[in-house]
Structure formats: structure tokens, C-alpha cells
Structure 1
Amino acid sequence: MTLTTSRRGFLKTAAAASAVLLIGARDDGVLAAGSEGSSPFNPFVKIDADGTVTAIVKHFEKGQGPATGLPTLIAEEIGLRMDQIEYEFAPSDPKLYNNLAFGPFQGTGGSTAMANSWAQYRQAGAAAREMLIAAAAETWGVSAEVISIEEGIVKGGEREAPLAEFVALAATLEAPAEPRLKDPAEFKLIGNPHVRRKDSPIKTNGHAQYAMDMHLPNQMVVLIARPEARGGIATAFDDSASRDVKGFVNAAILPNKAGVAVYAENTWAAIQARDALDVTWDMSNAETRSSDQIEAEIRAALETSPQYNANDGDAAAAAQAIDGAATVVEKTFYFPLLAHAPMEPLNCTIEQTADGDIVLHDGIQIPTGPHMAYQQIFDLPAEKIHIKTMLAGGSFGRRATPDADYQVEAALAFVMTDRSRPVKLVWTREDDIRGGYYRPAFGHKVRVGLDADGNIVGWHHQIAGQPVVKGTAFEPMLVHDGVDHTSIEGVADSPYQIPGMAVGLTDTPKATSVLWWRSVGHTHTAYVMETMMDLVAQAAGRDPLEFRLAHLTGSKDADRNAGVLKLVAEKAGWGQAPSGRTQGLAVHKSFGSYVAEVVEISGDVDSGIVVEKVTCAVDCGIAVNPDVVVAQMEGGIGYGIGHAMRDHITLTDGAVDQSNFPDYEPLRIGDIKAIEVHIMPSAEAPTGVGEPGVPPAAPALANAIAAAAGPLVTALPMEMNGVSFA
């Protein structure tokens, strides 16, 4: 049956200009199909007249793999090789491409890309397969049951033909309501470790177009002069020295007074002209605290009654049990501000088309925010705002600010011009590290009581820090009864069966701007839970592995955590480290995935610790692309260990002290000698892999150092707190 529907905005884009068959889902989730010129639904699959199959990828690619994973799902269900499917990024339209985990927002984050797209993209691919087979059955006059699609070829008995021969007829059919999804036993691509990333060739041959690569004809480059401390506003400026810079165009205070926009013909001229600018700032409402004050506030909050009870535990009963315990283990931890520091600094390009539309070119993580902001800034309806998603060189959460900070900067800088020239906003590395958004500072105070037999009788856990989600559009989903779940995730919902566990939370005043950072609250909660489990096991006279397994019972979460623990212990040779080496262990669930890691070290804290090997076991459900899963675990381990070793953001009178990689040093290739990743076989639906490798890495390293007669580091980074690395 031919579908008769109205033209939608998506079909106006180049992505669908030559499409013959489009397959996706309606707003109510029901599968739908149509042809060029009729698309009342959410297209995930596009098949052109020549048989070219394209996955419309609704999650942007910042290195974590959706540009491979989502096409894999479609290719598997249709019956294609990976070289027979292309991908394009979806346009900005939250009604069509909302993230099912985010509600009404289109966006990428929280390691949700595969988890929330698993069913959608497989169903779209399966529908395409059944429609093509139905078209072939009608054309050949045979039963659909004898037809299959293998490596892009439609086969039926002794007949076979390419997909292209059946696309036009298939486009006249209705999408099946419930297409048959392939059984895992039929998979050829999903779970295949030999499937390689779709975007690797273009990234290695220089053809990949990152947002920073955007260069439109006649564009200007703009850099923003910002105050040293967040909250300052510009009141005046002198650009007489800037005018001597070749290529300088103009300078103007942004409408919100948050900075001064400096326009130039190229990036270098913009940097020089901005450096020459003399700005007068009003700092009366700026942040003035230094890091030691912020730390003191957080530590003081840990010594008072918590603002919120963060779990169902009875704090008074826990305290009483601990006070009467045979042994008490008590530690206080502090975690500093951290920058995201992606390899590609922030940037985006904005232009106005001949018909007055606004186009933003950006490696954009949550397009819905800027899309809404631009409607207000430019006083235009949503359909007049277009966002072209490009590749991004990392993010770790930085490209997903609740206030769309850098995209709004670009819009404000553009709106002050006559709009005849595109404007490209560029942040330098120093801009990002000094004037960006940070993983919030947090503190934990934990008291654990054990009886004479080494059994836990009470666990009292106080947390204090700066909430990330409060005041954002995600507050209704993640803040309940005043508790920002991202502050206590990984503790209040720990899968460990711990008697008498009570968790309290206190919000402290935000230092500069805080933001979700790769693995969010799990970055500090996993460190505390896993180092405390080692300390309590030691006090109980039990092996850390055996002690953890004894407390992982009674739930599916506990069983899956225990599974990766056993696997990593086996693969790492737990307890059998070579002479001169020591091991540390940690396990943590985050974003639906279970990761256990063993860090093996040599050396000592005085002469220098050497990370010899990290062994990792991950249970992320069905591993759609094992090669991507391994890469994400490796990257997460490096990110977690590198920041714990040496990184922190400090403030002096509200101004950030660090500026670039010499004083905010990322992990170096020689910092970890070897990483070995093992994927747990699973029939469960896929879960996240972009972030879950981070949380167990630092505590496993800390436990290894403590086991080697070093200190248990309770304040990070390690190099600032008694540990040297070779």
C-alpha cells in the first residue's frame, strides 16, 4: 500500500534528497515506511534507487563508536556486509530523534547510544529486509519464505538479484508491524570481533571532517575575551592595540556582557588581537574562593548532619552499631575539580542562508538545547534553525552543557554582525581549561564497623559536594526528594549486600561551573567504595576478592558484578603476581554495565610506581562491536588512571591556575605498559561502554599501591599526595 503523507522537514535535507525507501518509527513507536516526499516518521534507514543503504545515526560520534554500532544493527538485520552500508548523522529534531533515556531531548551521553537504539535500529533493519523480500516475492511470483538476503544480494531458489531491483516496489508497501528480528545464532556482524569501525579509514587518511575543520567561504573567526574568574562581566574595552594586528576585523562586548568578541580573518589573527585587547571587568559577582577554601567547606560539611538521607538506611542505627563494633574502619576522602580536556578544543561555525535560515555546524552532543536557544536569539521558528552534526575530537561531557554555552557564544557573536559572513567560534586549549566547566569537587566520610568475626555490622557514608543536575533540564529525571542522584550513584545503589548501610548527602556551593564528566558521580563513588572494601577486607583478615564475592549475593546486579570479578581474577592471575609486582582490584557497575579491573604495579612510591598491566573484564550485555568495546575500555582505563595520577584544577581567588597540557597533563602512552580486555559472553541487551571503564581504574591502582606497602591515597591526585610515578 502506498503511503500518502505530508512532506516533513527531514526530507528537505540533502540526507534524503535521493531516497526511494525510508524506514523508521512514528512518534508512538510504531514502525513506518515511505518514499521520497512522504515521511511522517523517524527515518533510521534510507535505501536509494541504486541500492545504497544508509543508516541515519541519531547519536553523534565523538570517538565512542555509534557511527559503527548503529549501522551494524541495520546491516545485520537486512543481510549486508559492513562495506555495503553508509551512515549519515540525523538532523536536529527531538520529535523524530529523541534519546529515549533523555525524554524530549535529542542527544548523546550517559553511555546510552547503543542501549536506547538497540531495538529501534534492529526493527528498522528487519522491516527493510521483510519489505525487500516481499517485493522480490511479488516480482518473482514465489513465496517470501524461500527468499533471503545475503551480503546485499536477494536470493530465492536459483534466482538472485541486487537490492536495487526491488527498492522501488518495496517503497510502495507498508512497514510490517512486528518484523522478525534475527536470532543471535544467525548473527554474522553483531558480536563479530573482526568488524572494524566505519570511521577509521577517513580518520587515518585525513578525509574526516571535524567541527574544527569547517571553513566556509568568506568566514570570520571569533575568539572571546573572558574574565579570569567566572561571573565577571565586561564593562568597557580598548582595542587600539588589536587594530595593529593584521587580519583584525572588529571587537564588541557580547550582549550578555560575559565577554568581548574579537573578530579576525583567521584564527591566529584572532588570538593575537584578543591578547592585545585591554578589557575593563566588573568582578563584583565573580567567584573569589580559592581551592583550599572550597575543600575546607566540603570537609566541614562531612562533619555535620547531612542535608538529605540518600538511601533507606537508618543513620542513627548505623552509627550505634559502629560505635559498639569490635573494629572500626574510618576514612575521609577528597576529590578535586577536573577538566574534560578533549583533544579537539571547543568550536562551532554559524551562518545564515539566503532565505534567512540559521545553520550551525558543530560536533554537537545535545542539539536540542542550542536549537531552542537559537529560536530565542534569532526570533525564528524551529524549522528555520538547522544543525549540521560533525565529528568531534572527544567530549567526555564537555560538549553537553545545560546552557549550550559555546553555541550561545557563537550565536551572540554572529547576531552582532550584519550576518553577511559566516562566523567560526574557536576556543583555545587555555580557554577550555581556564574558562570551562569541571567535574565537581566532592568529599566522602565513611565509617564501617565489624564484629569480632570480621562481619560488617554498620556502614555510615557521608557525601558532600556540588550537584551537577540541579537547575538543569534533567532535574525532573535525576533529582528526587532534593537528592541529586549523580552525587550518590554507585554508593546509595551499591549492589553489595551491606548490613546497616546509611548514606547522607549535603550540597555545597558550586565552585565556578560544574558539569557531568566522563562517568559522572561514579568517578568518585567507585573510588571510595572500592578502596573501602579493600580496607574493610584487610581489617577482617580476608582476601579482597573473596570478601567482595561474599557481599555480592541476592540480586542480578550482584551476580553480574561477581561474574566479571571472577573473570578478571582468572585472567589477571589474581594472587599470583610475579616477584616484585603487586596487584589491586576493583569492580563497579555504571550505565548498566559491569566492569572489574586488576592493576598490576612494580616499584614503590618513593622511587616511582610503574603500572605494568591492567586487566579488565566487562559485561555490557551483547557486545555489538567487540573491537569498539575493547577500545572504549582501554580509553576509559587510561582516562581514569591518568587523572587520578596527576590531574586537578585549582583556583586562586576564583581564577583557574592550570592552562594547558604542561600543567594539566593527560595520560601518556608510556604510563600504562599493557591493557588486556575480556568481554563477558552475554545474551542481555547491550548497555553502555563509553564510560564504565573509568570508575574501577583509579581504585584498582590505589589498592595496588596500598598492597605494596604504600599509602592508601584518600585525596587526589596521587602525585600531590605521597605517590610518585616512574
Structure 2
Amino acid sequence: MSLTTSRRGFLTSAAAAGTVLFIGVNARGALAASPSAEAMLTPFVKIDETGKVFAIIKHFEMGQGPSTGLSTIIAEEVGVTMAQIGFEFAPSDPQLYNNLFFGPFQGTGGSTAIANSWQQYRTAGATARQMLVEAAAEAWAVDAGTLDIVDGQVTGAGQSAPLGAFVAAAARRTVPENPPLRDPAQWKIIGNPATRRLDSPDKVNGTAMFAMDVQLPNQMVVMIKRTPQRGGLVTSFDDSAAQEIKGFLMAQTLPTRHGVAVYAENTWAAIQAREALEVDWDMSAAESRSSQEIRDEIMTALNTEPTYNVNKADRAAVKATVDGADTVLEKTFYFPLLAHAPMEPLNCTIEQTAEGDIVLHDGAQMPTGPHMAYQQIFGLPAEKIRINTMLAGGSFGRRATPDADYQVEAALAFVMTDRARPVKLVWTREDDIRGGYYRPATGHKVRVGLDQSGKIVGWDHQVAGQSIAKGTPFEPMMVHDGIDHSTVEGIADSPYSIPGMSLGLTDTQKATSVLWWRSVGHTHTAYVMETMMDLVARAAGQDPVAFRLAHLADGTEDQARKAGVLKLAAEKANWGRAPAGHTQGIAVHKSFGSYVAEVVEISGTPEDGIVIEKVTAAVDCGIAINPDVIKAQVEGGIGYGIGHAMRDQITLDGGAVEQSNFPDYEPLRISDIKEIETHIVASTIAPTGIGEPGTPPSAPALANALAALSDGADLVAELPMAEAGVYFA
């Protein structure tokens, strides 16, 4: 299994392999095949003369599993086992390896890797199988319809031979227009819970190459001395103390003046030299607000008429209905800034080849961004920029910035040298937590009116927060009629049937830099919707599950799938039958096309210590390509969501971030949740997202379990929960 490749490296290795069959798309976007890598530059399937099959992965691997998922699809359609397939990462080429949901842009995000590639990779695998079978049929003088590929062997009509025997002949054949896809009844690997990840063995034995592992001959390490307040600019620096550090090479102000690049022979020398550097900053345009000031701005916005009427409701009529209801429930929520904090800090390595090409070695989540930026920085055409995509140790959105921040830093640092030595940029965790990009701070104000029978008659909902997309290259795609949908997703498109609902939105000034964070807007919208549904259910004297089901009863597929996971989670968690001393909370949410319901069971008290005994999850993400990967992603999403809701926040003092590392931005501990159990709904619907949908319901399910201790009176409406006096044992 090869984990890294560049466009030129791919072509070189292919040429060395002899006769190879490539299946992919040509420059016109049509499915094509070729025996030559030079003629077929964009394969999804590569089969060498030994019969070894490779899936060419257009999405990067940060732990969420596309390298295994896409390989599984290819293996199933071709007819080989998982032991007979490897994978390579695709070169950077947005015209040919684009994310079909993003337009002409190559990138991974929004839980789209499998969803946008499902049909593409099935068809590519089926094409390879059909061409091999036709080549064998011609050699054996039999009907191709009598042949198949099973476990890497072309079989049928009393014949059998390894598929490698027909690679050369197949590569010369015309590509079939409509290759037959395998019937799901034939699947052996897709949906098999015994299928394991392809990348796990190399990660366990240490041979897997992450971006941090890149060590090029004669490379320098660079670290950036950044402004303590976002927006500060360098006026001058003194490196006299740094010159005393062994291994220090030089320091230079970045052309943007956003920091000083410190060059050294190794990482430790760069850290020490950077600490010794004295920098004077111009803070006239820097962020200077405190967290309290940011919160106050959001709360003020919630108490004024919103800028945007998201669902075009008659807001005055809705407010009047709520005001005149028999029972009015009102709650104001606040969600703080949050850091992504992936386990592998940001890094990348840049070099220039003898031919003058610029090569970036990076865990590149959206390679099109740095590719375009490098064309401008180096004044080179696209074909002279190469990106070698590596494994990444997590991201949660952090490696997908609109401005390609850390890759641009590396390029600028490299430009200021003679380019004779590669430059490796390294961020420390303190760098990322103090000067990175954050989930936006957001507030919600909800007023719900009930009639005498406990039915909802009006729901007035206001959201105020910091837009992720506005002012970025993604604005044309994500913002419509002034509304950044990522701020209100999960409310505006909720499957619940809620009568008399109005939804308003006001943008507030961004604090530092904001960015999508695992599940984006759903992280806060799910919390508000699901805790309010519990509050309203209690006020109506109804069971929270039954109450939700009553608002999912219009017969749409959307509602049926959401109700399906809700009922499954409740059943598997023995809803309403928790052991003595335990309480339960439930939440269900749709995000990225998938539906997840979770029941959190707790014991203890907020004062003496809460113990999370068990989380039971049910997920409907369409066809389950790799059940083992799905369960791992749901478990990871639950831990990520609950861990941050328990005790994490990013706070500012005079514009400077106060947190620095895991001692004061504490990740979830393995002891924080005793048990997680995941159940997958069987489905024939095309796959949808799974990297993020486990996160949104987790925190509200925990909040509802806590509120159940006091019959809803003590709902935590401002996170993190630790700040609200909840102690976790």
C-alpha cells in the first residue's frame, strides 16, 4: 500500500510497473481507460500486470476513513478482496479530481467523501471488471456474460485465471458506456462488519507517513513568531538573543508583516530561537475585545429585530401568537468560541525541484486552495505546482481554511530563502490554540407558545453570531440573500413540523478568525432545537420521545428516517427504564444527509459529580459501506461533542486568547464515557455523510439527561457545562 504520491511520482511509478490498466476520467470528464499513465492522467482505478489493484483516492485521510471506504467500493465492483487492493492519494488537479459537491474544487469536507464519490467509484470499478472480463472472453472464445471476477480470479465457462493475465489486453479495449454494476445481493465487502481499515496496520506499526514525518535531505525548520492579538503587524524585531541558540539560522519578517519567520536546523532550535526573539508590534488594527464584550454584542443582537428573516415568516404575527399563548417558554443560549485542537499540530514542507517545480508535502484537506495561492506567490503555471498529499492526524475542519493560512506561511517563508534547502513549517499546539481559527461564538433566543392542550402554536427563534463564509472565497457558494446558511442549518431545514415558526438571523463582528468546526452550525443548532423540544415536551406533560415523534408524523421520507433512528435509539437504550439512580436524555438530528439519535444515561449529581454511564446511538447514513468505520466515526463524534460541551471554551482577554494547550483546553478523557453502543439502520439509499453527524446530538442528549435530574428546571443553556456548575466525576 502506497500512502503518498505526486502527479509526476505517480506517472514514474506507473511507467516502471510495465503494462498497467487505468480507469478514470479524461480531460473532458468522460470515463476513459488507457494502458499508459501519460495518456490517462486521472485514474480512479489502477491495475498492474501482477493483478494488484489500487484505488486512487481523491479525498485526503485525516482518520475519517475514505481511503478504506473508496477502496472498498472499487474492490467490490472489480471483484477482489481487501487484501488484494491498495490505495494511493490523487495528485492535485481540481478539474479532474474535483469534489462533485464543491464544483471545480478538489477538497475534503462537509462529510462528502463517500457521498460524492459513491457512483463515480462504483462505475470506475465496474468498468475495470467489464474490460478485464471482455479481454478474457476474447482470449477464451466464450461469451463475456458467462464470466466474472471473484477474489481476483477471472472465472466462468470452465476457465479460471488471475485477472493480471488480462491487464494488457484489457487496456487496449474500448471503454464500455454503461458497465453493469454489481447487484447489492452480490456484495461481499460493502456492508460487511468484518471489513477492517486498510490504513490501520501501517499506523500501528509506525510505517504510515504523516505530514509531520516528512524529513527531506538538508531541510530547515521554520516557526513563526505571531502576534499575540489577531491583526497585529510586525514593526521591528531583535534576534540578538536568538543568535546564541545552537542551530539558529536566521529570522525574517514575513512579507505580510503578520509574523517573523525563525529558521533553524531542527524543531527544538526553532522553538528556542523563537522564544528568544524580541518583536515590536503595531496593534492599532488588532482584535482588542474580551470574551464578555463579544458575548454582550451577541446578546444585544438577540434582543433587537434580526437583520434577516430566514424563513420569510410573518414575524410580528408569530410573536403575537406566542405572546398570547396559554404557556410561554423562553430560553436564551450562548455558545463560546472553540478550537479544533487536532492531535497532529499543523505543519507542511515545501521544496523546489531541479526542474523548478514547487512541491508541497502536506496533509492537504483542500489542495486547490494552496495550489492556486502558490501559482500567485511563485508566479508559476498550475502544472509547475505539485502537492503530495500525506496522512493527517485529525483536522475537524482546521486544515480547510479559505485563505490556506499555514500553507501560505510556508510558501512565504520559502520565498525569502534562496530555495536551495527545503523548508518545513511547524506549528506548536500553543500556536494553533492561541492563534488559529475557531468555531464562531453564537447566541440563540427562543420563545415557544403552547395552547391549553400542550400543542405548539408559535415558535419565535432568533440567532446571532459570526458568519464563517462572509468575506471569504466561499461566500458566493454559501451565502444567499445575505444569509450564511451554516449559521442556521439544522433549524431552517429541520424535518420537524413546527406550526407558527419564525427564524431570524443577525451577523455580529467576527472574533479573531472563525472557521467550520466538526459539524459546523449543527454544533449549536442541534443543541438548541433538541433541548427546547425536551423543555416543551415536559411543559406539555408528554414523553420526550413521543413528543418528537408527533412532530415527525407528516409522512415525508425525511421525517420517517429521523423517526426511525429516534425509535431505534430509544429501544436499544431501554428508554424510560433506566436503573435506579440513573437518568436519561435523548436527542436526534439530521446533518450532512444523515440521521443520528443518541440516548445519554448518567448517574450522580452536578454537585457531587456526574458519571456518563452509557451513550446509545442509532445512525441512518444510507448504505453502510464500512460498518466498522461508521461506528468509529459515530463514537469519535460523540466524544468530540460531549467533551467540548463538558468543559471547553476559548476566551479572550484584550483580544489575546487565554488558553494554550490541553491543560487548560482539556480534551475528552477515555474515562469520561464508560460505554458507547452504536446501531446502524439497514438501508438501500445511497451513502450520506458520517464524519460529522455523530457530534450534533451528543451534547443536547447529555444536557437533557442533566435536566431530567430537576425535571427540566436546570437546563444548561450556556456552555461549557463546567461553567454552569456541573462537575463531572
What TM-score do the two structures reach when normalised by structure 2? 0.97
Question: How far off is 1:441 after superposition?
Answer: 0.1
1:654 counterpart letter in structure 2: G
Contact kept? 1:580, 1:603, Cα under 8 Å: yes
Alpha-carbon shift at residue 159 of structure 1 (Å): 1.4
Give the aligned partner of residue 164 of structure 2. Answer: 164
1:475 to partner: Cα distance:
1.8
Amino acid at match of 1:720: E
Does the CA-based 8 Å contact 2:24-2:40 persist in structure 1? no
* Matching residue's letter, 1:223: M
Hey, what does 1:183 align to over in structure 2? Answer: 183
Say yes or no: does 1:621 pair with 2:612: no
CA distance in 2, matches of 1:187, 1:173: 26
Give the SS at the match of 1:212. helix
- In the other structure, the counterpart of 1:656 is 657
Contact 2:606–2:726, Cα closer than 8 Å, also in 1: yes
**Aligned twin of 1:712:** 715
Specify the alignment match of 1:3 in structure 2. none
CA distance in 2, matches of 1:24, 1:420: 37
Residue matched to 1:406 = 406
* Residue aligning to 1:110: 110
* Matching residue's letter, 1:507: D
SS in structure 2 of the partner of residue 130 of structure 1:
helix
For 1:706, the aligned partner's letter is: A
TM superposition shift of 1:157: 2.4
Supply the RMSD in Å over aligned alpha carbons. Answer: 1.2
Partner amino acid, structure 1, of 2:401: T
SS of the residue 1:96 aligns to: coil
- The amino acid across from 2:232 in the alignment is G
The alpha carbon displacement at 1:73 in A equals: 0.3
Q: 2:492 is matched by which residue type in structure 1?
A: A
The Cα of 1:158 is off from its aligned counterpart by: 2.2
Determine if contact 2:609/2:728 at 8 Å carries over to the other structure.
Answer: yes
Equivalent residue, structure 1, for 2:3: none
Q: Deviations over 1:542-577 (max 9, x none)?
A: 000000000012221111000000000100000000
CA pair 296-17 structure 1, distance change in 2 beyond 3 A: farther
Partner of 1:23: 23
Aligned residue type for 1:656: V
Unpaired runs of at least 5, structure 1: 1-7
- Give 1:164 shift: 1.1
Are 2:640 and 1:639 equivalent residues in the alignment?
yes
Alpha-carbon shift at residue 24 of structure 1 (Å) = 1.3
TM superposition shift of 1:42:
3.3
User: Equivalent residues in 2 for 1:143-292 (5 A)?
Assistant: 143-292=143-292
**One-letter code of the match for 2:340?**
H
The match for 2:724 among 707, 721, 725 is 721
| 1:584 matched residue in structure 2 | 585
1:575 maps onto 2:576 in alignment: yes
Decide whether the 8 Å contact of 1:20 with 1:171 is kept in 2: yes
Listed as ranges, the matches of 1:380-395 within 5 Å are 380-395=380-395
Rounded Cα–Cα distance in structure 2 between residues aligned with 1:13 and 1:718: 55
Residue 507 of structure 1 corresponds to which residue in structure 2?
507
* Aligned-pair CA distance for 1:175: 1.2
1:476 offset after TM fit, Å? 2.0
The answer to whether the 8 Å contact 1:711/1:722 transfers is no
* Mapping 1:267-416, distance limit 5 Å: 267-416=267-416
Q: Aligned partners of 2:221, 2:608: CA distance in 1, in Å? A: 48
Tell me which amino acid in the other structure corresponds to 2:213. D
Q: CA deviation at 1:145?
A: 1.3
1:617-651 deviation line (CA, Å, top 9, x unaligned): 00000000000000000000000000000000000
Partner residue in 1 for 2:4: none
Distance 1:603 1:50 in 2: 61
Task: Report the 3-state secondary structure (helix = DSSP H, G, I; strand = E; otherwise coil) of the residue aligned with 1:491.
Answer: coil
Alignment check: 8 A CA contact 2:250 2:263 kept: yes
- 1:363-407 CA-to-partner distances (Å, cap 9, x unmatched) read 010000000000010110000000000000000000000000000
Q: Quote the Cα distance in structure 1 between the aligned partners of 2:662 and 2:578.
A: 34
Displacement of 1:316 in angstroms is 1.2
Q: Is the 8 A contact 1:526 1:588 kept in 2?
A: yes
Match of 2:696 in 1: 695
User: How far, CA to CA, are the matches of 2:13 and 2:690 in structure 1?
Assistant: 32
- Work out whether residues 14 and 20 of structure 2, in 8 Å CA contact, stay in contact via their aligned partners in 1: no
Change (3 A) 1:39 1:313: farther
Rounded Cα–Cα distance in structure 2 between residues aligned with 1:499 and 1:697? 26
Local SS of the residue matching 2:95: helix
The alpha-carbon deviation at position 38 of structure 1 amounts to: 4.6
Deviation readout 1:225-281 (Å, 9 max, x if unpaired): 001000001111100000000000000000111000000000000000000000011
Query: Structure 2: which 5+ runs fail to align?
Result: 1-6
* CA deviation map 1:257-312 (0-9, x unaligned): 10000000000000000000000111111000000000000000000000001113
Shift in CA distance, 552/41, structure 1 to aligned 2, threshold 3 Å: farther
In the TM superposition, what is the alpha-carbon distance from 1:17 to its structure 2 partner? 5.3
Contact 2:22 2:37 in 1 (8 A): no
The alpha carbon displacement at 1:156 in A equals: 2.0
How many equivalent residue pairs?
Answer: 719
* Change beyond 3 A, Cα 1:475–1:13: farther
Task: Percent identity, please.
Answer: 71
Distance 1:137 1:350 in 2: 49
Post-superposition offset of 1:28 = 5.2
Corresponding position of 1:563: 564
Do the aligned partners of residues 671 and 16 (structure 1) sit closer, same or farther apart at CA in structure 2, a change above 3 Å counting?
farther
Which AA in structure 2 matches 1:574?
Answer: W
Distance 1:546 1:17 in 2: 64
Query: Is residue 584–residue 708 contact of structure 2 (8 Å, CA) maintained in 1?
Result: yes
Instruction: Determine the C-alpha separation between the residues in 2 that align with 1:14 and 1:266.
Output: 31
Which residue identity is paired with 1:719? A
Q: What is the TM-score with the length of structure 1 in the denominator?
A: 0.98
Q: Which amino acid aligns with 1:498?
A: I
